[in-house]
Structure 1
Amino acid sequence: MILGLKIFIGVLSGYLLLILIRVMLTWFQGVDYGKPYRILAAATDPYLRIFQKIKFLRFSAIDFSPVAAMLVIVVLIDFASQFIREGRLSLGIVLAVITSALWSVVSFLLSLFIILTAIRFFMGLSGANSVGPFARTVDLLIAPILEKTRRLFFRKRFVTYKTILATTGASLLVLYIAGKVLFGLLYNVLQAFPI
């Protein structure tokens, strides 16, 4: 059984790598990779399409469906790894793995928006082109979060764009640190759960 699980983990890890390559190749539009690419697409696209049908995985201009697809594989690998390590799967271990996967998604999103907000903030400080295509793309991605920050902290007061960026970045950083601590504690509690 252990050998079967190790093979299962190896196959899933290989498939995860194929999906990652497939997703990264989509970033370079207009390039013809030939037959190897078509084989890769035929192997990965049916699985990826399952997640592309889930509408809430699209946030603003970003499609998170590949992240969700890879996350499911990572969770399956974690379950198999935990079973190999512990020799069993308890409810606590299952909940701990799910909690870990959930934190992976949340921390990824928080990190992404912290980085985008910091980039936009420093572009404003340095006097970089604030109307260029890159700045407009970043603005489009972070606009919903900036609006939530403005409503939460500034309501009817006028504040500068830099102030909203700084407040959003600081708030996201605090959320990241608090989330890391809380999810870490929850993971440890759940993993120790005897059932």
Structure 2
Amino acid sequence: MSAATSITAMLVQSLSVFLGIYLAMIFIRILLSWFPNVDWSNPAISALTQMTDPYLGLFRSIIPPIGGLDLSAMLATFALWILFDFVSAASNNVAAAFVY
């Protein structure tokens, strides 16, 4: 195994882990939006909002909220899920290539 292939495998695996964590953060952000008593000034929740809102904002500009229901969050989650699946599959293929 060469250094370039091991670096590639490490980068692909790291991207897969990052996307999985970010996807979980998006889910938590969406779930928190359903509760009216959430303290958005809480430092942890504020940090979560600051990290996820730029990505969600891209989709909010495409699909505005309809009757209080934010469908853009579902589209953003779906797009991130597809990317996560693609990167995870690539990560598994790269890892399998090292076995042989």
Match of 1:36 in 2: 44
Larger RCO (CA within 8 A; separation ≥ 6): 2
**Number of equivalences:** 86
Match of 2:56 in 1: 48
1:58 to partner: Cα distance: 5.2
1:82 has 2:89 as partner: yes
Residue-by-residue CA offset, 1:47-87 (whole Å, 9 max, x unaligned): 101111113x7566632211111111111112212223445
TM-score, normalised via structure 1 length: 0.40
Paired amino acid for 1:31: V
Q: Percent identity?
A: 30
Distance 1:86 1:36, change over 3 A: closer
Residue-by-residue CA offset, 1:117-168 (whole Å, 9 max, x unaligned): xxxxxxxxxxxxxxxxxxxxxxxxxxxxxxxxxxxxxxxxxxxxxxxxxxxx
1:65 has 2:72 as partner: yes
Distance 1:79 1:66, change over 3 A: same
Partner SS for 2:39: coil
Task: Give the unaligned 5+ runs of structure 2.
Answer: 1-7, 95-100
Match of 1:3 in 2: 10
**Alignment RMSD:** 2.0
| Aligned counterparts of 1:31 and 1:21: Cα–Cα separation in 2 | 12
Spell out structure 1 runs of 4+ moving beyond 6 A. none
Match of 1:13 in 2: 20
Distance 1:31 1:79, change over 3 A: closer
| Aligned counterparts of 1:32 and 1:45: Cα–Cα separation in 2 | 16
Distance 1:40 1:67, change over 3 A: same
Match of 1:27 in 2: 34
Give the number of the structure whose alpha-carbon radius of gyration is greater: 1
Structure 1, 60-69 or 36-45: larger mean CA deviation: 60-69
Paired amino acid for 1:84: S
